Amino acid sequence: YSEEDLYRPNFHFTPKKAWMNDPNGMFYYNGYYHLYFQYHPDSNVWGPMHWGHAISTDMISWTEQPIAIYPDELGTIFSGSAVVDIGNTSGFGKVSNAAPIVAMYTNHLDKGEGSVNQTQSIAYSHDEGKTFTKYENNPVIDANLKDFRDPKVTWDADRNKWVMVLAADDKIMFYDSKDLKEWKLLSDFKREEGSKDGVWECPDLFKLPVLGTGESKWVLIVSIGKGGPNGGSATQYFIGDFDGTSFVMDKDFETARNKENNFWVDFGRDNYAGVTWSNAKRKDGSKLMLGWMSNWDYAIKVPTETWRSAMTIAREVNLQKDENGYKLLFQPVKELNNYRSIKYKKENISIRGDTKIIDASTMDLASAEIQFNISDVIDKGFTFNLTNKQGDTLAFGYNKADKNFFVDRTKSGKTGFSENFAKGVSVAKRTSLSPDMSGTIILDKTSIELFFDNGETVMTEIFFPNKPYTKLSIIPEAQEFILGSIEMNKLNIN
């Protein structure tokens, strides 16, 4: 097996070559979803950042494009966002029927001897995001700060203005603007409110309808460099209200959060710096999000040489309110269903010992979507095992004593490249009170994405088997039980 055969994902985005981290500047326009990304084209480790670029008509099948934004005298190009300036508020538009795309990013300037300045700059595009012209009066925000980055701009339709959130070490700063050029500081939201480890990065702010109600709430997303639920970098969220000036956490949400710090976009170790697409309107009001499928704990050491890192599958984000309070739900985007080819379905399988579900002679386990249902889960625990003849095992499932979902990659294949990679088993407390459990499993060559209980608990992890996994089986924790249904779809994506 070559590195390409063994580790290049079948359907998760990777650059053809070199290093990638955060998704940047995601917007939808004229039939295309755009994804820019932190990119170091000259090496397979992090370095002077550029904005790489890829496009897709459905967020699943991506085509890489030439680099969109290069470093300049103001610095290298760190994370940021892009908007479609429909009303030409910036005045950058020139053709009457085409809206300019305006990107806002951080210029990272290393002045030597540990002295760093991070400023915010803008650039506009007249060709739907292929190429950008930098604004002549950059930077548009300079506060002479070292950790001051990742501007995410959003159109505040309630107040007809642009709002921008920015990460500044231990707080998120809120700004507004009428023209994307002049920005006014409105307020900040401090670290006391959230996890205290690591520097805050890559925020996002958006409004979501609460499912099944007439109500809407604001969501603040904040990634943190350290202190994730299972170690390293991870992304947390807050639910509250935004009045055009400041974000205030919802009281009940705050109480729930203080009781149990359980509000993570993903409990797996490999979903970081995720933000949402701008200008992508879904009929149901959901937002679309995607993250970097790695972790700063070991990202520069994962065993691929040609390229490094992939993105997660794009996800729909919804907001639910139930007896537990507010909770975000994440599901793979519906567009993935268009790639289902061959379907296998089994019902009412009695699980006693190690029970084979499917093997590679019927199903490509590196390009699959699997859905299962188990009823009356109260006294049931189980482990799914993905295995190969070499003895590599990726285990995941539900532990009934602790009510934890888990992913165990300690024996999944190559793990020794970093001591941080397979230190332990990742867990996530089950929050759903439903007696029935459902799960969706998305499998690629080097990643698993688990969406439990309708997307209430999500776990995303990467792995590097010595040879492809060839069998999926399930084992009961103690007593035998009936697996209500399991449906498997081969995904045909290239």
The yes or no reply on residue 49 touching ligand FRU (CB under 6 A) is yes
Rule CB under 6 A: choose which of 85, 128, 176, 201 binds ligand FRU.
201
Residue 298 in tokens: 């070991």
The yes or no reply on residue 44 touching ligand FRU (CB under 6 A) is no
Rule CB under 6 A: choose which of 44, 79, 121, 276 binds ligand FRU.
79
Rounded to whole angstroms, the maximal C-alpha distance in the chain is 69
Q: Choosing from 5, 22, 436, 453, which is the catalytic residue? A: 22
Residue 26 in tokens: 């995601």
Rule CB under 6 A: choose which of 8, 13, 19, 21 binds ligand FRU.
21
Nearer to ligand FRU by Cβ, of 78 and 398: the residue is 78
To the nearest whole angstrom, how small is the minimum distance from the Cβ of residue 202 to ligand FRU? 6
The yes or no reply on residue 309 touching ligand FRU (CB under 6 A) is no
Rule CB under 6 A: choose which of 81, 106, 107, 294 binds ligand FRU.
106
Rule CB under 6 A: choose which of 14, 38, 286, 412 binds ligand FRU.
38
Query: Is residue 455 helix, strand or coil?
Result: helix
Burial group, residue 487, by CB count within 10 angstroms (0-12, 13-18, 19+): middle
Burial group, residue 379, by CB count within 10 angstroms (0-12, 13-18, 19+): exposed
Nearer to ligand FRU by Cβ, of 109 and 211: the residue is 109
String of DSSP letters for 103-118: EEEEEEEE-STT-EEE
Nearer to ligand FRU by Cβ, of 146 and 411: the residue is 146
Site for ligand FRU in 113-132 (CB under 6 A): none
**Among the listed residues 386, 373, 362, 374, the one whose alpha carbon sits nearest the alpha carbon of residue 443:** 386
Rule CB under 6 A: choose which of 202, 219, 222, 462 binds ligand FRU.
202
Site for ligand FRU in 139-168 (CB under 6 A): 149-150
Nearer to ligand FRU by Cβ, of 218 and 292: the residue is 292
- Could you tell me the CA-to-CA distances from 162 to 133, 176, 182, 216, 346 in Å, in that order? 20, 5, 10, 19, 50
Nearer to ligand FRU by Cβ, of 79 and 473: the residue is 79
Q: Please report how many Cα atoms fall inside a 13 Å half-sphere around the Cα of residue 454, on the Cβ side.
A: 12
Please name every residue paired with 341 in a beta bridge, in sequence order, or none if there are none.
none
To the nearest whole angstrom, how small is the minimum distance from the Cβ of residue 132 to ligand FRU? 17
Distance CA 3, CA 410 (A): 21
Site for ligand FRU in 267-296 (CB under 6 A): 273
Residue 25, Ramachandran bin (φ over 0: left; ψ between -120 and 50: alpha; else beta): left
To the nearest whole angstrom, how small is the minimum distance from the Cβ of residue 272 to ligand FRU? 6
Nearer to ligand FRU by Cβ, of 49 and 422: the residue is 49
Nearer to ligand FRU by Cβ, of 38 and 271: the residue is 38
CA dihedral defined by 360, 365, 368, 369, rounded to 10 degrees? Answer: 100
Catalytic residue flag (residue 22): yes
Q: Is 314:35 a contact under the CB 8 Å cutoff?
A: no
Rule CB under 6 A: choose which of 22, 270, 297, 392 binds ligand FRU.
22
Number of residues lying near ligand FRU (CB under 6 A): 12
String of DSSP letters for 157-184: TTTTEEEEEEEETTEEEEEEESSSSS-E
Q: Is 471:465 a contact under the CB 8 Å cutoff?
A: no
Nearer to ligand FRU by Cβ, of 125 and 235: the residue is 235
To the nearest whole angstrom, how small is the minimum distance from the Cβ of residue 79 to ligand FRU? 3
To the nearest whole angstrom, how small is the minimum distance from the Cβ of residue 249 to ligand FRU? 23
To the nearest whole angstrom, how small is the minimum distance from the Cβ of residue 308 to ligand FRU? 13
Q: Is 472:409 a contact under the CB 8 Å cutoff?
A: no
User: Which residue is listed with tokens 């294949």?
Assistant: 413
Catalytic residues: 22
- Judged by the rule CB under 6 A, the positions of this chain that interact with ligand FRU are 21-22, 38, 49, 78-79, 106, 149-150, 201-202, 273
